[in-house]
Structure 1
Amino acid sequence: MLIRFVKLTIKADKTDEFKSIFAASQQKIQRFDGCQSVHLLQEPKDPRIFFTHSIWKDEAALDAYRHSAFFEATWKKTKTLFDARAEAWSLTEIQ
């Protein structure tokens, strides 16, 4: 199992647009082979900061998603809303 966190800092005037893009994409992401769940989290003290939290069967499943036409199109649209470079971590559970 692979747990993925991606930190996204969105332009203040684009947060609603970002949330709409995620809402429209969430179920499609969850239908990708190997995706067990995907969620969006928002920092309450700085509403420009979001994290996606997803759980994947393994790194190969995440890589297949990241190389899909769907990801490419969604990421291209989302990147225009960034106020800072995205940061990502792939983690494995210890306990």
Structure 2
Amino acid sequence: MLIRIVKLSFHEENIPAFLENFELVKDQIRNFPGNRLLELYQDKNNASIFFTYSYWESEEDLENYRKSAFFNEVWDFTKKLFSDKPEAWSVDKLASLV
């Protein structure tokens, strides 16, 4: 299992467009082969910063998503809204206490 965390910073006036588009594409992202979880978070101290958490069965599944025409469409739209360069991390879960 691979967990992907992406930090996205937006111009304040672009947040509604991002959220509207996320609402339209979130199910397609979640149902992409190999995706097991998709979550969106908003920073409590800076409303212009968001994080996506996605769980992937394998690095290959994530790469297939990132190379897809669907991802390119979503990313082309989203990157126009950024106020800063996005940051991304691929991590392994070491512990989970539920």
Q: TM-score range by the shorter chain?
A: over 0.9
**Which residue number in structure 1 is paired with residue 49 of structure 2?**
49
| 1:17 correspondence with 2:5 | no
Q: 1:68 maps to which residue? A: 68
Structure 2 gaps of 5+ residues are: none
Instruction: Say what the alpha-carbon RMSD is for the aligned residues.
Output: 0.6
Q: Which residue in the other structure is 1:2 paired with?
A: 2
The number of equivalent residue pairs is 95
Gaps of 5+ in 1: none
Fraction of identical pairs, as percent: 39
CA distance in 2, matches of 1:70, 1:52: 17
Q: Which runs of 4+ in 1 moved over 2 A?
A: none
Offset from partner CA, 1:37-59 (integer Å, 9 cap, x none): 11110002100000000000010
The code of the aligned residue for 2:56 comes to W
1:36 aligns with 2:36: yes
Q: TM-score scaled to structure 1, two decimals?
A: 0.97
One-letter amino acid of the structure 2 residue matched with residue 46 of structure 1: N
Listed one character per residue, the Cα deviations across residues 53-95 of structure 1 (whole Å, up to 9, x for unaligned) are: 0000010000000000000011000000000000000001123
> What is the distance in 1 between the residues matched to 2:24 and 2:37?
15
Q: Distance in 1 between matches of 2:44 and 2:12?
A: 13
> 1:53 aligns to what SS in structure 2?
strand
